[in-house]
Amino acid sequence: MTSLKLFLLILLAVIAQLGIFAAIAFYRHWVSYEKIKRQLSGMEAAPETGAVESISAPVSTSAALWQGTRNFRVQRKIFEDKNHSICSFYLVPEDGQPLPTFKPGQYLTFQFNISDPVTPTPRKVIRCYTLSEQPRSDYYRITVKKVPPPENKPNIPAGDSSSYLHEQVQEGAILAAKAPGGHFYLADEVREPIVLIAGGIGITPMLSMLHAALQDDPHREIWFFYGVRNSSEHIMKEHIQELASKHENLQLHVCYSRADENDVEGVDYQHAARVDIKLLRLTLPIKQFQFYICGPKPMMETIVPALENWGVPEHQIHYETFGPASITRHEKPAAVSVEPITVTFRKSGKSLQWDDSFSCLLEFAEDNGIEINSGCRAGSCGTCQTMIELGEVEYSQEPDVDLEASTCLLCVAIPKTNLTLSA
């Protein structure tokens, strides 16, 4: 071989190598470009399982909360439990724009138009569903339990919107939702150790808080108590166990109240009991915690007052109920010299003396057999807006919605004077 031939061969090899490097670089660049493009258009695929795979998530700090409703496409629908009674919906914005951030624990308020063979004319139903992941800009996730008829009335229809979501809403469907709202969320300005207590589907805000807390500060002390009947209702089991094994700062305590014969204590769950104050007192070290609680009415009605009796200050106990569950906290001091206030519900034909032990007019009405539509029960969705015909109300917490003239939100209002409401 002549030296010219050798030179040409080496040159060819160098050119070929450069070509390969350039092709690899171009391919990598193209892959990351496509990824960013998908993220921006809200099309980033949601994880395969119902669980969140990564603790870090893309977050948009600039996107603003929207007014009215925004359309979301159901990108993915995944059952989360053995019974197929709990289902997650991954929602991407139809407009493809990044989603605003929210506070872990907040919810979306949906307006569904539901029709079925029995009632073919669509009816508007408003319901709230908590965002069950930490904030991210490419999709939101909700996790919904199908609500069966009450045990003592098996012949009445199951829950309206939860049945609609489970049975009629498939991947590709469009749902309209108001922007995230709500007052039950992880207080990020306080970096104290936290105790998250979830019962049944009350786990949804805790999942969001748990992920956000781990992402935010991998060393923050977190105690997670989760009560369900048994493994058939245990949602995202492997995922939560994996988080606990990866994060030394996360103490997981799963309680089965009716473990079935195949459930193994120490493997599937830690305690054959309900989550109650006895367990909390036996397990938690003595220190300052922020408590976050969400679960069924009986659990909330026992745990919240029990924590107060244990000496936990009121401002360290944060809770939310998913339905009509008023919680009697400490006895209120007897009111000093107050004029009795009369509340008249005109359509219902009832005039009643206001009882100070109720935290809002909505609970007062329900307790007196007056039916009022409600959604969030926290002044955010506007469902309980009611006309004031006479008198004035005051608010325990300012409403998040713009109210029409001469109306009030019964879920956050109490009477200031004698009152006549249209309901």
162 scored as a contact of ligand FAD (CB under 6 A): yes
Q: Choose the binding region for ligand FAD from 27-35, 145-153, 301-309, 345-353 (rule: CB under 6 A).
A: 145-153
Q: Which is nearer to ligand FAD, 92 or 381 (CB)?
A: 381
Does 128 interact with ligand FAD (rule: CB under 6 A)? yes
Q: How far is the CB of 412 from ligand FES (least distance, A)?
A: 7
407 binds, among ligand FES, ligand FAD, none (CB under 5 to 8 A by kind): none
| Residues in 336-395 that interact with ligand FAD by CB under 6 A | 376-377
3-state secondary structure of 321: coil
Stretch that binds ligand FAD, among 6-14, 69-77, 228-236, 315-323 (CB under 6 A): 315-323
Edge to edge, what strands does the sheet with 407-409 contain?
350-353, 342-345, 419-421, 385-390, 407-409
Q: How far out from the chain centre does Cα 79 lie?
A: 17
Is the four-CA dihedral 68, 185, 270, 56 of positive or negative sign?
positive
Residue ranges in 82-226 assigned as alpha helix (H)? 160-163, 203-216
Q: Is 62 exposed, middle or buried (0-12, 13-18, 19+ CB in 10 A)?
A: exposed
Q: Between 160 and 308, whose beta carbon lies closer to ligand FAD?
A: 160
Ramachandran sector of residue 377 (left: φ over 0; alpha: ψ -120 to 50; beta: rest): left
Residue 162 or 383 with smaller CB distance to ligand FES: 383
3-state SS assignment for residue 210: helix
Task: Give the residue among 325, 355, 345, 342 at the shortest CA–CA distance from 386.
Answer: 345
Site for ligand FAD in 163-202 (CB under 6 A): 182, 201
Residue whose C-beta lies closest to ligand FAD: 159
**Taking a C-beta distance cutoff of 8 angstroms, is the pair 290, 192 a contact?**
yes
Among ligand FES, ligand FAD, none, what binds residue 64 when CB lies within 5 to 8 Å by partner kind? none
User: Tokens 């305590």, residue?
Assistant: 253
Comparing CB distances to ligand FAD, the nearer of 19 and 324 is 324
Partner whose footprint covers residue 159, from ligand FES, ligand FAD, none (CB < 5 to 8 Å by kind): ligand FAD
Cα-flanking dihedrals φ and ψ of residue 7, to 5°?
Answer: -60, -45
Please identify, using beta-carbon distances, which residue of 122 and 157 lies nearer to ligand FAD.
157
Q: Which residues sit at the interface with ligand FES, rule CB under 6 A? A: 374-377, 379-384, 409, 411
Ranges within 222-261 binding ligand FAD (CB under 6 A)? none
Kindly indicate which of the ranges 141-149, 309-317, 341-349, 359-367 contains the residues binding ligand FAD, using the contact rule CB under 6 A.
Answer: 141-149
Q: Are 321 and 362 in contact (CB under 8 A)?
A: no
- Give me the residues paired with residue 44 across strands: none
Q: Could you tell me the smallest distance in angstroms from the CB atom of residue 128 to ligand FES? A: 8
Residues making contact with ligand FAD (CB under 6 A): 107, 127-130, 143-145, 147, 149-150, 153, 156-162, 182, 201, 204, 320, 322-323, 376-377
